[in-house]
Amino acid sequence: MARILVADDHDLVRETLAAYLEAEGIADVRVCSDVAEAEALIAGTGAFDLVLLDYNMPGMEGLKGMTRIMAANAGRPVALISGSISTEVAEDALEAGAAGFVPKTLSSRSLVAAVRCMIGGDIFAPVSLIKKPELGEEGLLTPREMDVLRGVCTGQSNKEIARVLDLQEVTVKLHVKTMSRKLGAKNRTHAAMIARDRKLI
Amino acid sequence: MARILVADDHDLVRETLAAYLEAEGIADVRVCSDVAEAEALIAGTGAFDLVLLDYNMPGMEGLKGMTRIMAANAGRPVALISGSISTEVAEDALEAGAAGFVPKTLSSRSLVAAVRCMIGGDIFAPVSLIKKPELGEEGLLTPREMDVLRGVCTGQSNKEIARVLDLQEVTVKLHVKTMSRKLGAKNRTHAAMIARDRKLI
DNA sequence: GCCAGACCTATCCTTAGGGATAGGGCGTTT
DNA sequence: AAACGCCCTATCCCTAAGGATAGGTCTGGC
């Protein structure tokens, strides 16, 4: 059973999160309402498998509080609870090593998924905040190939894709072929699955 | 701006919900106090993005009222307002396709989150009520169809799948066709994506 | 026994997918 | 200007995919 620390000065948010997580039986949840308390808890009971921090909370001082908590938590993931968070803060937070963001608006199911994700070491953030992962491999895809890939991923035929993009079917075929090559796929179905796996749809 | 219909015969509940939602500026809210009125409103002004129904309300007759409303609302989400609701009713409601439950005790912020969630197509329900995602439909897939589906999901051709499963290619084609039909897929690629989405690979 | 459903195979036919090659237009880089 | 990459189109050809229909075995349930 994972140990999770929820630090938020809003009673409602804190208790709701804790209740969700405990109800699912995936975690032993501790709560607190400011940064100092959080540090004390970590120091007193050892590192948590995941720490969820409210960005607007006594003692946070922007990301400084988060980095302090991260240092205290010995490398285990620390994420922000984001009511609404600016994209700059989000980028900086990810830069600083945050494990992700838990929107307060998240459904319980998604919350559990997100928490599992982060405990496992993955980064969880709203897609809009994630910057392109390594362009090294996927960057190979040209814009047009991406358009076609999106069509392929929804199960459209070349003809349908051509209609949507206002192209000739042959052109779509060309893009499907080159795009599949670049992804190392055997065919369109394979390409679609690879795209889904790498989340580049 | 989303259009929401709140149907509850308790003035207080109805007006409180409507006030919360309109105050947040996320929705254009219409209200009514029985099932017949709700149906008339939907018929008169078109489908709503979300309909919130009191389970104990004139004309509901258990879940019948809800299913009628769902039919009228053209597939857009319909949820129940639950003062307190038994787990059996909750399960049946989810089974019948309800988008979730809005506890009357919910805070305004959580309410807004729940509503956004449901408008977006997610299901919102107290964690304790959520069970495994729909095995109902996928259960239709026979073991052999699952085998074939796995092959399709790795981008294998019918020939390759046939070799692996020690079948004739025609047989694989048959399975691909019926399996795709059952999943509501247009073709193998679509089937693969649907399978991946529903995590039934 | 009979029936239903899953499973496998077959034949026939049409369309879609994919490989190869070739060329023109266009904007950027060198 | 020349080269490059992306984009679009075209033609030829072959294979894969998918739709329709039909008939076969084997199993579990009534």
Q: Does B93 touch chain A (CB under 8 A)?
A: no
Distance from CA of residue A173 to its chain's centroid?
A: 33
Residue of higher predicted confidence among A124 and A164: A164
Mean pLDDT on A87-104: 75
Interchain pair B190, A154: CB under 8 A: yes
Locate B54 and state its tokens: 């009191």
pLDDT at A7: 92
Helix (H, G, I), strand (E, B) or coil at B164: helix
The class level of CATH for B2-129 reads alpha beta
d(CA B45, CA A1): 51
| Confidence band for B90, pLDDT divided at 50, 70 and 90 | confident
Which residues in chain B are closer than 8 Å to A155, comparing Cβ atoms?
185-187, 189-191, 193
Distance from CA of residue B88 to its chain's centroid?
A: 18
| A108, A152, A156 member nearest B127 (Cβ) | A108
| B156, B187, B196 member nearest A196 (Cβ) | B196
pLDDT at B148: 92
The sign one gets for the Cα dihedral B196, B74, A107, B124 is negative
pLDDT at A100: 81
What value does the CA radius of gyration of chain A take, rounded to a whole number of Å?
A: 21
Domain A135-198, CATH:
1.10.10.10
Q: Where are the domains of chain A?
A: 2-129, 135-198
Report chain C positions within 7 A of protein CB atoms. Answer: 6-12, 16-22
On whether the CB atoms of residues B144 and B178 are closer than 8 A, the answer is no
pLDDT over threshold 70, residue B22: yes
Nearest nucleotide to A148, CA against C1' atoms: D7
Instruction: Write the CB contacts of A14 (distance below 8 Å, at least 6 apart in sequence).
Output: A6, A7, A8, A31, A33
Mean pLDDT on A143-159: 91
Give the model confidence (pLDDT) of A97-141 as tens digits.
888 887 665 555 567 767 877 887 767 765 544 443 333 444 578
Q: Which one of B189, B196, B200, B201 makes the best mutation probe of the A interface by having the most chain A beta carbons within 10 Å?
A: B189
Find the residue in B nearest to A110 (Cα).
B122
Q: Which helix (H) or strand (E) holds B172?
A: helix B169-183
Instruction: Write the CB contacts of B102 (distance below 8 Å, at least 6 apart in sequence).
Output: B17, B52, B79, B80, B81, B82, B111, B114, B115, B124
Q: Of the ranges A33-42, A99-108, B152-161, B192-201, which one carries the lowest mean pLDDT score? A: A99-108
Helix (H, G, I), strand (E, B) or coil at A124: strand
| Confidence band for A96, pLDDT divided at 50, 70 and 90 | confident
pLDDT over threshold 90, residue A173: yes
For residue A91, what are the CA distances in angstroms to A61, A116, A128, A129, A166?
17, 22, 11, 7, 36
pLDDT over threshold 60, residue A68: yes
pLDDT at B127: 53
Q: Does A192 touch chain B (CB under 8 A)?
A: yes
Give the model confidence (pLDDT) of B129-175 as tens digits.
443 333 344 557 888 998 899 999 999 999 989 998 889 999 999 99
Q: Does A152 touch chain B (CB under 8 A)?
A: yes
pLDDT at B153: 93
pLDDT at B171: 93
Residue of higher predicted confidence among B183 and B120: B183
| Confidence band for B178, pLDDT divided at 50, 70 and 90 | very high
pLDDT at A111: 73
Q: Does B152 touch chain A (CB under 8 A)?
A: yes
Percent of chain B residues past pLDDT 90, beyond the cut: 30
Burial profile A82-121: b = 16 or more Cβ within 10 angstroms, e = fewer: bbebeeebbeebbeeebbbbbbbbbbbbebbebbbbbbee
Backbone angles phi, psi at A155, to 5 degrees: 80, 15
| Confidence band for B6, pLDDT divided at 50, 70 and 90 | very high
Give the model confidence (pLDDT) of B101-121 as tens digits.
876 655 555 677 778 778 877
For residue B34, what are the CA distances in angstroms to A155, A183, B78?
42, 56, 15
Mean pLDDT on A183-189: 92
Distance spanning both ends of chain A, measured CA to CA: 34
Residues 11-40 of B with CB under 8 A from A: none
pLDDT at B21: 80
Helix (H, G, I), strand (E, B) or coil at A2: strand
Mean of per-residue pLDDT scores for chain B:
81
How close B32 comes to chain A (CA, Å)?
27
Interchain pair B127, A188: CB under 8 A: no
Which residues in chain B are closer than 8 Å to A12, comparing Cβ atoms?
107, 109-110
3-state helix, strand, coil in chain A (%, to 5): 55, 15, 35
Report chain D positions within 7 A of protein CB atoms. Answer: 5-12, 16-22
Give the CA dihedral A85, A87, A93, A95, nearest 10 degrees. Answer: 170
Domain B136-197, CATH:
1.10.10.10
Question: Could you check whether B2-129 and B136-197 share the same CATH topology?
Answer: no
Interchain pair A155, B116: CB under 8 A: no
d(CA A50, CA A27): 10
Round to a whole number and report the distance in Å from the CA of B154 to the C1' of D26. Answer: 30
| A108, A155, A193 member nearest B186 (Cβ) | A155
d(CA A108, CA B5): 24
Query: What is the value of pTM for the model shown?
Result: 0.49
Q: Does B130 touch chain A (CB under 8 A)?
A: yes
